[in-house]
Amino acid sequence: MKTLDIDKLIRSNISRLKPYSSARSEFTGEGAVFLDANENPNNTLYNRYPDPLQWNLKRKIAKMKGVEPGMIFLGNGSDEAIDLLIRAFCQPGKDKILSVDPTYGMYKVCADINEVEYNEVLLTNDFQPDIEQLMQEADSNTKLLFLCSPNNPTANDFSEEAIVEILNRFKNLVVLDEAYIDFSNRESFLTKLAEYQNLVILQTFSKAWGLAGIRLGMCFADKRVISVMNKIKYPYNVNSTTLRIAAEALENKNTHNGWVEEIIKERKRLVTALPEYSQIINVYPSDANFILVKVKSPELLYKHLVGEGIIVRDRSKVSLCDGCLRITVGRPEENDKLLKALAEFEKTL
Ligand code: PMP
């Protein structure tokens, strides 16, 4: 088991912080008449503040994920968790963050906003983390190491052995972003939380659950990490509508499973169909709900697709992704449109 003195990692001002105490978190027991939070007493369905710690939903998620409710943080998308982890553990101007390149852009943006030094190590040519380089780059001020697997925009999973080796060798917190884990064959690292106190896992309702619009992200970690995130978050960071819709979705796990199955089936179809087009140079293996493809004329093809009303992401200027477009797997009929537009584009050349 890898232990870590998490309390020592926390920024000293955050350790000392006396957090805001919201009205709703100050009582225990069953209330019937709430005169504590200056709300409007008339029932609009939304006249009451939500539970600041979202215990009902956390209990449901805990059961499904096989973790304790106290090991869960819920936020306004996983983007909130990324920002809070940086604010909790990284002192601006002193501490550092390490990640790989290319990867999800918000780690760097949040580091920059918080004035925390961000360093990145290029992935290997097969899009795996370069462990030796990462370890060389890390020092005692490197508080967080972000890994995204399946990785955005490369779409592949990092090997389990690589993630485990990083967890063993990196001294501070490893934040493993599993936003796309439902589309992968790899088992989630949630089962490894008991073994690695330095492991923090991010997941989200925005992808496989089909709920990007409600903004709900999950963070799973040692209770001491979760409690410092709770200490600095906005008191009512997840709203009542979001809590209700997420709880309903959890009751319909079959819908989620059906979508995942269909998206994976469509991914396979696209991965088989795309190389047939002369425009496509390479279709990279995908463990996510999107595919990275290297094409001959990224800008022209991108513009052509926009002209057809099809929006993909131009990643051709990103490290190691020269000439690449990132294509999200759509509904079967949308994927048909994409393939048709590609065929038409080739006729224009
Ligand atoms: N992590 C990764 C790897 C992502 O690609 C995204 C969204 N594009 C997020 C996190 C953000 O998720 P959320 O909607 O939960 O903020």
Say what the pLDDT of residue 25 is: 81
Distance 165 CA to ligand 1 centre (A): 24
Choose which residue among 80, 106, 181 to substitute to test ligand 1 binding: the one with the highest number of ligand atoms within 8 A of its C-beta.
Answer: 106
Instruction: For 150-163, write each residue's pLDDT tens digit.
Output: 999 999 999 999 99
Number of neighbours of residue 348 by Cβ within 10 angstroms: 7
**Six-digit token string for 341:** 């537009």
Ligand 1 nearest atom to the CA of residue 204, by list position: 15
Say what the pLDDT of residue 27 is: 80
Instruction: For 54-91, write each residue's pLDDT tens digit.
Output: 999 999 999 999 999 999 999 999 999 999 999 999 99
Ligand 1 nearest atom to the CA of residue 104, by list position: 3
Instruction: For 162-204, write each residue's pLDDT tens digit.
Output: 999 999 999 999 999 999 999 999 999 999 999 999 999 999 9
**What CA–CA distances, in Å, run from 117 to 28, 162, 177?**
42, 24, 20
Q: What is the largest CA-CA distance in the chain?
A: 72
Question: Is pLDDT of 97 > 90?
Answer: yes
Choose which residue among 76, 82, 104, 203 to substitute to test ligand 1 binding: the one with the highest number of ligand atoms within 8 A of its C-beta.
Answer: 104
Ordered by where they begin, the domains of the chain are 6-251 (3.40.640.10), 254-347 (3.90.1150.10)
Average pLDDT over residues 319-333: 98
Say what the pLDDT of residue 246 is: 98
Residue matched to tokens 């943006």: 109
The DSSP symbol for 122 reads E
**Residue bearing the CA closest to ligand 1, atom 8:** 104
Distance 78 CA to ligand 1 centre (A): 6
Say what the pLDDT of residue 30 is: 86
Question: Is pLDDT of 29 > 90?
Answer: no
Confidence band for 134, pLDDT divided at 50, 70 and 90 = very high
Range of lowest pLDDT (23-37, 223-237, 257-271): 23-37
Ligand 1 nearest atom to the CA of residue 151, by list position: 3
What predicted TM-score, i.e. pTM, was given to this entire model?
0.97
